[in-house]
């Protein structure tokens, strides 16, 4: 484990990620493989012997990686700007862009790993997506580099399917001092699946 003096970070523990190429050319493939494993873990109905063998291999793989665990400032996860969602395995796979009219648009795809029940995405996974999308919206459209979520409200309009590319759109509602009010929606074609609004607060220098 790498010891880090957090005083070197002016954001007091919340800072923009520093780009890195650590992990090499196969880091993206590594992240994709872990995502597929998560899907298999949610979906598999294998014989006991297969599960036993898989567990043995996973334990060996964890032992292989354990000596190289690092803190968030040194791990490539979240800092690989060349990869989708910066190589952060926690994030829902997505891609976003700023539009000419000053909004954020993009697509997201929930995997089998995000399944709740009856083919629907788990509600908590939708919170994860919207916190990322609306946080990105606040940062990109206002230039805020350090902010925290103050609240996130989600309205579940329709069942959100897994394993399908969906569309999102978001924008700034208002800015009041350090407060940034944002809203957005997730759609499947013309069908509104989920709507959300949030408040993000810009951090003061050194604020955690």
Question: Could you read off the pLDDT of 155-196 as tens digits, one per residue?
Answer: 999 999 999 999 999 999 999 999 999 999 999 999 999 999
Whole-number Cα distances in Å, 37 to 31, 65, 111, 178 = 10, 16, 11, 41
> Where does a domain end: 84, 108, 130?
84
DSSP tag of 104: E
pLDDT, position 148: 93
Q: Which domain holds residue 66?
A: 18-84
Specify whether 145 is located in the same domain as 160: yes
Specify whether 133 is located in the same domain as 181: yes
Which spans in 14-122 are helix H?
27-43, 48-65
pLDDT, position 4: 42
Specify whether 95 is located in the same domain as 73: no
- Mean pLDDT, residues 120-136 taken together: 96
Specify whether 194 is located in the same domain as 153: yes
Q: Is the pLDDT of residue 72 over 90?
A: no
pLDDT, position 1: 43
H helix or E strand, kind and range, residue 185: strand 179-188
H helix or E strand, kind and range, residue 130: helix 123-142
> Where does a domain end: 84, 110, 140?
84
Return d(Cα 44, Cα 81) in angstroms, integer: 32
Specify whether 114 is located in the same domain as 185: yes
Question: Could you read off the pLDDT of 13-53 as tens digits, one per residue?
Answer: 567 789 999 999 999 999 999 999 999 999 999 999 999 99
SS3 102: coil
Specify whether 125 is located in the same domain as 198: yes
């Amino acid at each position: 484990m790498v010891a880090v003096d957090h005083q070197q970070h002016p954001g007091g523990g919340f800072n923009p990620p520093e780009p890195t190429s650590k992990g090499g050319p196969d880091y993206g493939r590594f992240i994709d493989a872990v995502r597929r494993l998560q899907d298999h873990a949610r979906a598999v109905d294998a014989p006991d012997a297969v599960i036993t063998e898989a567990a043995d291999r996973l334990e060996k793989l964890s032992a292989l990686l354990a000596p190289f665990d690092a803190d968030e400032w040194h791990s490539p996860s979240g800092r690989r700007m060349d990869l989708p969602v910066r190589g952060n395995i926690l994030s829902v796979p997505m891609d976003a862009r700023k539009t000419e009219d000053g909004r954020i648009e993009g697509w997201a795809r929930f995997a089998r790993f995000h399944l709740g029940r009856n083919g629907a995405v788990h509600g908590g996974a939708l919170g994860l997506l919207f916190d990322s999308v609306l946080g990105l919206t606040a940062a990109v459209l206002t230039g805020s580099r350090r902010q925290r979520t103050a609240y996130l409200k989600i309205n579940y309009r329709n069942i959100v399917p897994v394993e399908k590319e969906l569309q999102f759109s978001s924008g700034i509602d208002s800015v009041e001092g350090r407060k940034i009010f944002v809203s957005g929606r997730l759609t499947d074609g013309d069908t509104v699946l989920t709507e959300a609004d949030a408040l993000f607060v810009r951090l003061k220098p050194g604020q955690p």
